[in-house]
Amino acid sequence: MEHAPATGRTRALRRLLVNGEPVDVPVAPHETLLEVLREGLGLTGTKHGCELGECGACAVLVDGVPVLACLTLAVELAEHQRVDTIEGLADGARLHPLQEAFAALGGLQCGYCTPGMLMTAKALLAREPRPTAAQVREALAGNLCRCTGYGPIVEAVLAAAPHVAGPAPLGAPAAAEARP
């Protein structure tokens, strides 16, 4: 690969902020964020499903916004761009409330869609701390699941919402939202 002429096809180091950690990763112009995460950084929690933008299995957060890693060229990310993946969701050994709820309520079976579901749901709860079931379904409308029939997933997101610590509304008492 390194024999390619200097036409921009060779890899250049790019610094990203992945799950809060600055990492320098070599990136070729034609490589997607999915390839860079899974193969460059060994973060295989982000799944490759259709790889064409038709399933949501590779959903990650770029600056907090759910996007498809399979359709994002890594070279287009800014220096120090914030990328959050499933590997950063748990707090050490303590699962995130969304993970707890998915496990407790059967929000997953085979698990392949789960990283994309969880990251998308995380972004929803950051934007909408108390979503309705309709808002959950709309937010997850780009994540296919062939196992669960979606019911337990929506239920799990709704159940997790009160346990996800978010910035308290202005004027609200401070410790209103405790983790389980």
Partner 1 sequence: MMRCPPFRYLAPETAAEAARLVAAHGPGAALLAGGTDLLPRLKRGQAAPDLVVGLTRVAALRRARAGADGLELGAGVTLAATARHAALTPAHRALALAAGGAATPHVRNMGTLGGNLCADTRCGYYDQPRPWREAIGFCLKAPAGCAEPAAARAGEVAGTCWVAPGGRRCWAVASSDAAPALIALGAEVTVCSGEGSRRLAVAALHRDDGRAPLLLAPGEVLTTIHVPALGPAWRTTYWKLRRRGSFDFPVGAVALAVRLAASGEVLEARAALGGVASRPLVVETDALLGRRLDDEAVGAFAEAAVAPARPLDNTDYQPAWRRRALREAVAGALREVRGDPPEALGVLARAAARVLPRA
26-34, 105-113, 148-156, 165-173 -> range binding partner 1 (CB under 8 A): 26-34
Cα separation of 28 and 3, whole Å?
A: 13
Sign of CA dihedral 105, 20, 142, 36: negative
117 is an interface residue for partner 1 by CB under 8 A? no
Handedness of CA 55, 57, 60, 66 (dihedral sign): positive
Instruction: Find tokens 């990251």 and name the residue.
Output: 119
Does residue 138 belong to the site contacting partner 1 (CB under 8 A)? yes
**Measured from the CB atom, is 65 or 168 closer to partner 1?**
65
The answer to whether residue 80 forms part of the interface with partner 1 (CB under 8 A) is: no
Q: Is 16 in the site for partner 1 (CB under 8 A)?
A: no
With tokens 């990492």, the residue in question is 23
- Is residue 56 within the footprint of partner 1 (CB under 8 A)? yes
Would you say 103 or 138 has its CB closer to partner 1?
138
Taking CB under 8 A as the criterion, the residue among 32, 46, 85, 114 binding partner 1 is 32
Question: Does residue 34 belong to the site contacting partner 1 (CB under 8 A)?
Answer: yes
Check residue 8 for interaction with partner 1 (CB under 8 A): yes
Per DSSP, the chain holds a count of helices (H) and strands (E) of 5, 5
Is residue 166 within 8 Å of residue 126, measured between CB atoms?
A: yes
Q: CA 13 to CA 161: how far, in whole Å?
A: 38
Q: Which residues bind partner 1 (CB under 8 A)?
A: 4, 7-9, 28-32, 34-35, 38-39, 48, 51-54, 56, 59, 65-68, 70-73, 75-76, 120, 138-139, 141-142, 144
